[in-house]
Chain A
Amino acid sequence: MDYALNTGEQLQEMLRTIGVASFDELISTVPAELHARRLEIPDGLSEAEVIALGEGLASANRSLAQMTSFLGAGAYHHLIPTVVDALAARGEWLTPYTPYQAEASQGTLQAIYEFQTMICELMQMEVANASLYDGASSVAEAAVLALRATERPRLLISEAVHPHAREVAATYLSGAAAVIQEIPTVDGVTDVEALKKALGQDVAGVIMQQPNVFGCLEPMAQASEAAHRAGGLFIASVYPVSLGILQPPGAYGADIAVAEGRCLGSPVAYGGPGLGLFTTTQALVRRIPGRLAGCSVDQAGRRGYTLTLQTREQHIRREKATSNICTNEGWLALRATIFLSLLGPQGMKELAALNLEKAHYLHQRLRELSWIRPAFDQPFFNEFTVEYEDGIKVDAVNRALARAGMVGGFPLKNWYPARPQASLWCATERISKTQIDALIEALKGVR
């Protein structure tokens, strides 16, 4: 279908109908600092001149290809094998709309089915859906599921769960009667004693993240057991790459395991898109949000794939649907499927080991600097928190590093104002020993 722009006349007609004088008036309730700045393009430029102008502006951006990044905090820079792009860019995959029409969508449906199978294997869970928008919406959907499945009104969430996920969950539940209670941390990990005290017969579920937002490893098995003893569900938000080395959520009895899956074959892009992974036990299968692809046989007994359990969904169940999410991140799920099939279980182990080693080398080298000390005494995977000596500003250090072509650790004060000196550092397999050594040299000059 052609894209036909509105004429000036049509715009005026629409504005008149809704009773505003101009487009600017229509958006006047949006704070001015949030408005997109208008691109200044002088009249009378040729096509080549306009392109040059655009390229000049674009070159002011700095990308991960130009910078050495030690930034994680929920979005991790991982290698994407060229095969992922080569296969995912095939035309057949580029219209990943909901494949209702099974007879015309066997390829897409099989890809989703394989994706679900791999995610189940990775998480050691019984059921995976076809994906959700991102890791944060997966956490929120898990919260809603726990409230519905247990018919209990209270949720406990660790303060070490990524704040974006906590915010999305709070937004989801803003109209519900549910109460979300935050559980504090001690030395960088969730306070299990406080968790046990907060548990009760009215608690629908406990939400924790592994590794948590500070990079520390949580006592998941202990928390899971406590949640179950109180009759609640245990919800684990995990980092897929870490599962090559860490226990999968199924091993510590998670009822729901979710994740941000972008690290599996998709780039860190400004603001998204993300890939929400969502898995549960078989007992909760009818309460899962979103699409599920199933495997069946046709009339002639041949294997075939189709969307299944659709009576959970809003086009059938209306207001009683388990969720209003019908869609999935089809193309990113496909990329994750290609990525996982390339690496396999052994590759995932090696990938996780590389991350672990790089981050521990970085940790060791940072500790050589007198003004940096570890914030917590906890095991970590590929990310950890350090604190700078008073008087040394996290932002100032990062500005100095940026001039040297490096992106420093994430200033945790943005999310935890009580930790003004804390910086969250990450090293994935993309970081080399040479780059870490160069970082330390640069940091020596900062002081």
Chain B
Amino acid sequence: MQIPSELCYTKTHEWARRDGQEIVVGITAHAQEELRDVVFVELPKAGKPVKQAEPAAVIESVKAAFDIYAPVSGAISRVNDAVVKSPQLVNQDCYGGGWLFAITPGNAEELTALMSAEEYAKQLQAQPH
């Protein structure tokens, strides 16, 4: 299972990465595997305020619909239109082309409070689902 060491992680299986002034967000390899084939991604509008640990987007797979939670508070700065057109990108390249949205954080401290790759790996071992 791929868990890139440079990313931060949430308990709800999102990853977050600092990119200049933005925090880029996607879902982990474990999450996309559990979801199975993603068929639809509903992303927020740019500019929309989001709160840490509250739903910001929805992913539908052949199994069900899932909320995607914002790893940090702030405002949506960009969204990935490519996954709206090709939802399978979330399965094929969840840490790259399958990213979902970027947030301009209100409080950068929130990012450092997220899990490291090591901690996330431990969580997966402790509760694999």
Q: Please, which residues of chain B bring their CB within 8 A of the CB of A286?
A: 40, 42, 60
Residues in B with CB closer than 8 Å to A151 are 45, 48
Which A residues, 303 to 347, have Cβ-Cβ distances below 8 Å to chain B? 311-312, 316-317, 320
A151 to B40, CA, bound (A): 19
Given A286-B40, A311-B40, residue A316 in contact with residue B65 (CB < 8 A):
yes
CA gap between A151 and B45 in the complex, in Å: 9
CB contact between A311 and one of B45, B60, B67 (< 8 Å): that residue: B60
Query: In the complex, what distance in Å separates the CA atom of A104 from the CA atom of B65?
Result: 26
Q: Known interface pairs A311-B40, A311-B60. Does A317 touch B45 (Cβ–Cβ under 8 Å)?
A: no
Contacts of B58 in A (CB 8 A): 320
**Residue B64 interfacial (CB < 8 Å):** yes
Residues of B in contact, count (CB < 8 Å): 10
B19-51 contact mask (Cβ, 8 Å, vs A): 1 or 0: 000000000000000000000101001001000
The verdict on A320 contacting B45 (CB below 8 Å), with A286-B40, A311-B40, A311-B60 known, is no
Q: Mark B47-82, 1 if CB is under 8 A from A, else 0.
A: 010000001001010001101000000000000000
Q: How far is the CA of A311 from the CA of B40 in the complex (A)?
A: 10
Kindly report which residue of chain B lies nearest to residue A150, judged by CB atoms. B45
Q: Which residues of A contact B42 (CB under 8 A)?
A: 286
Which partner residue on chain A sits nearest B58 by CB separation?
A: A320
Contact status B64-A316, CB under 8 Å: yes
Q: How many residues of A contact B (CB 8 A)?
A: 7
Q: CA of A268 to CA of B58 in the docked complex: distance in angstroms?
A: 42
Q: How far is the CA of A312 from the CA of B65 in the complex (A)?
A: 8
Closest CB in chain B relative to A316 CB, distance in Å:
5
Q: Is the interface of A mostly helix, strand, loop or mixed?
A: helix
Could you say which residues of chain B place their CB within 8 Å of the CB of A316?
A: 64-65
Alpha-carbon distance A311/B65, docked complex (angstroms): 6
Cβ contacts under 8 Å, B45 to chain A: 151
- Which of B45, B55, B65 has most A Cβ within 10 Å? B65
CB distance from A106 to the nearest CB of B (A): 21
Chain B nearest CB, measured from A154 CB (Å): 17
A282 and B40 CA atoms in complex are apart in Å by 14
Chain A residues near B67 (CB-CB < 8 A): 320
Q: How far is the CA of A286 from the CA of B67 in the complex (A)?
A: 15
Chain A residues, CB < 8 A from B64: 311, 316-317
| A291 shortest CB reach to chain B, Å | 16
Bound: A326/B91 CA distance, A: 30
Q: Which residues of chain A are within 8 angstroms of B60 by Cβ–Cβ distance?
A: 286, 311
**Docked CA distance A411–B110 (Å):** 64
User: Could you tell me the distance between the alpha carbons of A316 and B48 in the complex, rounded to whole angstroms?
Assistant: 26
Chain A: minimal CB distance from B86 (Å): 16
From A151, which residue of chain B is reached at the shortest CB distance? B45
Bound-complex Cα distance A316 to B66 (A): 9
A311 proximity list for chain B (CB < 8 A): 40, 60, 64-65
Query: Closest CB of chain B to A233's CB: distance in Å?
Result: 15
- B48: chain A residues within 8 A (beta carbon): 151
Q: Which residue of B lies closest to A287 (CB)?
A: B42
The docked-state distance in angstroms from the alpha carbon of A119 to that of B67 is 33
CB distance from B119 to the nearest CB of A (A): 29
Q: Interface digits, A180-201 against B, CB 8 Å rule (1 contact, 0 not)?
A: 0000000000000000000000
Residues of B within 8 A of A317 (CB): 64-65
Closest Cβ of chain A to B126, distance in Å, is: 26
Query: Measured between alpha carbons, how far is A316 from B42 in the docked complex, in Å?
Result: 16
| CB-defined contacts of A320 to chain B, threshold 8 Å | 55, 58, 65, 67
Q: Give every chain A residue within 8 A of B55 (Cβ-Cβ).
A: 320
Taken together as a complex, chains A and B put the C-alpha atoms of A317 and B42 apart, in Å, by 13
17 contacts between A and B (CB under 8 A): A151-B45, A151-B48, A286-B40, A286-B42, A286-B60, A311-B40, A311-B60, A311-B64, A311-B65, A316-B64, A316-B65, A317-B64, A317-B65, A320-B55, A320-B58, A320-B65, A320-B67
A286-B42, A320-B58 known, 10 other contacts, Cβ within 8 Å: A151-B48, A286-B40, A311-B40, A311-B60, A311-B64, A311-B65, A312-B65, A317-B65, A320-B55, A320-B65
